[in-house]
Structure 1
Amino acid sequence: MENNFRSGCPVASTLDIVGDKWSLLIIRDMLLQGKKNFKDFSSSPEGIAPGILSSRLKWLEENELITKHKLPDNQKENIYLLTEKGIELGPIMTEIILWSDKNLRVQNAEMFSIAEAGFNRDKSKFTEGIQNNYRQIVRETLG
């Protein structure tokens, strides 16, 4: 897999992979909500179009943030799972959530409560719990 990064900057390089409008939302859905299949992702409130979703899933797979599998009992449906590389985006997701709560809540009254989700506690412990829960989902899914 060869990527053409815009520069040697770590921030720019990361944004070249996950800086579009949809990739982090797909990763959010997987990591925080355990979504695994196309239908699950399509039902997200942000309303991603099917063609864009297909493209984003393929892109994330090409960049080794997710893997695509068939379940032994259902060979027709693809399921998607985060790789360890994808799971390691957990701390970034936590920081985005905390920043958004602090800086955008006034502008977006519909924003979910981070207190209800547990983000107002020890963020590193919370993030580690999210990551470990997801790893358990992967183990259970793959058997």
Structure 2
Amino acid sequence: METIERRSSCPINYSVEIFGDKWMLLILRDLMFNGKNSFLEFRASAEKISSAVLTEKLNILLNEGIVTKITSPKNASKFLYLLTDKGIELVPFMVEILNWGSRYNPNGGPKTLLEGIKKNKKKAVTEIQDKLRSQRQSLIEKQADTF
């Protein structure tokens, strides 16, 4: 089990030790905005994370209670990673990063999502969070029906 050695008890330090590299934010991006939740889907992202790094980062997210891992209802040899409520609480943070990045990199970003955020950020965040909770619940129910 991967644990993080904390340098201090500072809340910012705690956050940086979990999210302080690009891979964590990209995995969260894929979970929240791109509908990805399997190892192979994460590996297929444009940034080309290595299997070893992805395994390490997913284990940290699991150990921190930000994601949970279930067996795929469609394929018992495949695992799915789903955001927990703790992970879903990060949506406003990720929306701010997405919004900031799109402001200074106008060539990138999901146009429909960005339009919704610009129109009504609070509503967009709530809709994303509700969708993630609903998808998680649906997959957990399907998994329970399978086994």
Give me the TM-score of the superposition, normalised by structure 2. Answer: 0.85
Partner of 2:24: 23
Partner of 1:134: 132
Question: How many residues get paired?
Answer: 138
- Structure 1, residues 46-89: CA drift from partner, whole Å, max 9, x if none? 11111111111111101111111113452211111111100100
Partner of 2:40: 39
Partner of 2:63: 62
Q: State the one-letter code of the partner of 2:128.
A: I
Instruction: Using the TM superposition, give the Cα deviation of residue 41 of structure 1 relative to its aligned residue in structure 2, in angstroms.
Output: 0.6
Pair 1:53-2:50 in alignment: no
Pair 1:112-2:113 in alignment: no
**CA-atom RMSD, angstroms?**
1.8
Q: State the one-letter code of the partner of 2:92.
A: P
SS of equivalent residue, structure 2 residue 117: coil
- Structure 1, residues 87-119: CA drift from partner, whole Å, max 9, x if none? 1000000111122223x22xxx532254x3222
- Greater helix fraction, Structure 1 or Structure 2: 2
SS of equivalent residue, structure 2 residue 58: helix
- Sort the Cα spacing of 1:78 and 1:7 in 2 relative to 1 into closer, same or farther, 3 A: same
Give aligned-pair identity as a percent: 36
SS of equivalent residue, structure 1 residue 8: coil
Partner of 1:123: 121
SS of equivalent residue, structure 2 residue 134: helix
Task: Determine if contact 2:98/2:109 at 8 Å carries over to the other structure.
Answer: no
Give me the TM-score of the superposition, normalised by structure 1. Answer: 0.87
Unaligned runs of 5+ in 1: none
Unaligned runs of 5+ in 2: 142-147
Separation of aligned partners in 2, 1:59 and 1:50: 14
- Sort the Cα spacing of 1:121 and 1:73 in 2 relative to 1 into closer, same or farther, 3 A: same
Separation of aligned partners in 1, 2:57 and 2:35: 17
Instruction: Using the TM superposition, give the Cα deviation of residue 3 of structure 1 relative to its aligned residue in structure 2, in angstroms.
Output: 4.4
Instruction: Using the TM superposition, give the Cα deviation of residue 8 of structure 1 relative to its aligned residue in structure 2, in angstroms.
Output: 2.7
